[in-house]
Amino acid sequence: MNILIVGAGKVGRKLARDMIERGHKVKLVDKDELVCEKIEKKGDLEVICGDGCDPLVLELAGIKIADIVVAVTKDDEDNLVIAQLAKLQPNKPKVVSVVNHPKNEWLFNKKWGIDASLSQTSILTDLIEQQIPDINENN
Please tell me the predicted confidence (pLDDT) of residue 5.
98
Whether the model clears a pTM of 0.85, i.e. scores above it, the answer is yes
Please tell me the predicted confidence (pLDDT) of residue 84.
96
Nearest of 22, 6, 116, 1 to residue 60 by alpha carbon: 6
**Spans of all domains in the chain:** 2-138
- Residue-wise pLDDT tens for the chain (139 aa)? 999 999 999 999 999 999 999 999 999 999 999 999 999 999 999 999 999 999 999 999 999 999 999 999 999 999 999 999 999 999 999 999 999 999 999 999 999 999 999 998 888 888 888 887 665 565 5
Alpha carbon distances (Å) from 111 to 19, 89, 108: 27, 16, 8
Please tell me the predicted confidence (pLDDT) of residue 13.
96
Q: In this structure, are residues 107 and 79 in contact, taking their beta carbons and an 8 Å threshold?
A: no
Q: What is d(CA 82, CA 92) in angstroms, rounded to the nearest whole number?
A: 13
Q: In this structure, are residues 5 and 27 in contact, taking their beta carbons and an 8 Å threshold?
A: yes
Alpha carbon distances (Å) from 109 to 75, 95, 96, 112: 16, 10, 10, 6
Please tell me the predicted confidence (pLDDT) of residue 32.
97
CB-facing half-sphere around the CA of 20: CA atoms within 13 A: 14
Q: Which secondary-structure segment (H or E) carries 121?
A: helix 120-138
Q: In this structure, are residues 72 and 12 in contact, taking their beta carbons and an 8 Å threshold?
A: yes
Domain 2-138, CATH class in plain words: alpha beta
